[in-house]
């Protein structure tokens, strides 16, 4: 079956970054894709000027691309920051200031999935206090997302690249989603299953299959890159086609985000593994 059963979108925060932000939707469309996702594009501020928000929304619309996933403000990505919502003080306040801005932008573009990166451990701060703050902010995020009919995504990262990030496994991330749903009284907190990050944490292929079988029903979004190298499928050793087949067999029908590095070539040349007829969104 393979890739024909998937709905792929392109992450415009890691692909097509050789182009200005407002040119990336059209570049993705020219490569054959009709769906995209983004990390929070304004890494320096959770509250960018409205005209910049409007310009990005217009570029998505003009390109005919649907925004299917958006990160809340999470600091500087890529880089040492990994979220703000569990970081006491200014960063947590910046996250809260972003909630309304991000959800209004998501609503204006038809985006229905918002990713809240947990946040690094802070030296000298009680982890329990960070976890308490995180739950408070995740409940606020879940309620903000719910107001526009969106789901909240919670993502596990990997220890080698994000050593201070505490969510490193599928089971603990799904358990956190359950706590958020219980505390919020909602049911919109779901798992973002990033197969690259899970594999970087040492999961074997069989472990990845087990994670898929166990957690597919709680998965709200999937992201892929090959390992090693975080490149396109086929550049490493992950059996991504078989893993996505397993996800489909387990009942997952959502989006799969292409969140890989293009390597030493233009991003438009990094999709040779995927036939052109399988790139546009299908119902």
* Pairing verdict, β 7-11 and 255-258: parallel
Residue 161's nearest CA partner among 83, 79, 262 is 79
Is 259 a catalytic site residue?
yes
Is 52 a catalytic site residue?
no
Active-site pick, 23, 52, 91, 259: 259
Residue 30: both structure tokens together: 């020219």
What 120-123 contacts at long range (C-beta under 8 Å, 24+ apart), as own/partner pairs, is 120/81, 120/82, 120/83, 120/86, 120/87, 120/162, 120/164, 120/165, 121/164, 121/165, 121/166, 122/87, 122/88, 122/164
Active-site pick, 155, 172, 206, 241: 155
Residue listed under structure tokens 């392109």: 10
Q: Which residues contact 44 (CB under 8 A, 6 or more apart)?
A: 76
Q: Which residues contact 47 (CB under 8 A, 6 or more apart)?
A: 97, 98, 101
Q: Please list the active-site residues.
A: 155, 259
């Amino acid at each position: 079956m393979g890739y024909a059963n998937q709905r792929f979108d392109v992450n415009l925060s890691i692909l097509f970054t050789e182009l200005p932000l407002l040119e990336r939707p059209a570049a993705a469309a020219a490569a054959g894709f009709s769906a995209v996702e983004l990390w929070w594009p304004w890494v320096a501020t959770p509250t960018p000027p409205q005209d910049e928000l409007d310009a990005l929304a217009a570029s998505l619309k003009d390109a005919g691309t649907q925004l299917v996933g958006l990160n809340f403000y999470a600091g500087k990505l890529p880089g040492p920051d990994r979220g703000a919502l569990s970081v006491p003080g200014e960063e947590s306040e910046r996250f809260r200031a972003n909630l309304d801005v991000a959800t209004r932008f998501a609503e204006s573009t038809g985006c229905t999935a918002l990713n809240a990166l947990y946040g690094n451990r802070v030296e000298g701060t009680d982890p329990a206090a960070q976890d308490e703050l995180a739950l408070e902010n995740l409940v606020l995020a879940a309620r903000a997302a719910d107001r526009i009919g969106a789901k909240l995504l919670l993502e596990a990262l990997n220890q080698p690249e994000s050593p201070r990030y505490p969510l490193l496994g599928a089971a603990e991330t799904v358990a956190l989603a359950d706590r958020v749903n219980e505390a919020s009284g909602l049911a919109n907190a779901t798992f973002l299953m990033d197969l690259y990050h899970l594999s970087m944490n040492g999961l074997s292929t069989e472990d990845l299959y087990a994670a898929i079988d166990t957690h597919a029903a709680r998965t709200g979004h999937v992201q892929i890159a090959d390992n090693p190298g975080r490149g396109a499928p086929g550049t490493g050793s992950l059996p991504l086609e078989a893993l996505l087949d397993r996800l489909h067999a387990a009942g997952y029908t959502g989006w799969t985000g292409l969140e890989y590095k293009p390597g030493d070539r233009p991003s438009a040349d990094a999709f040779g593994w995927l036939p052109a007829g399988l790139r546009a969104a299908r119902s």
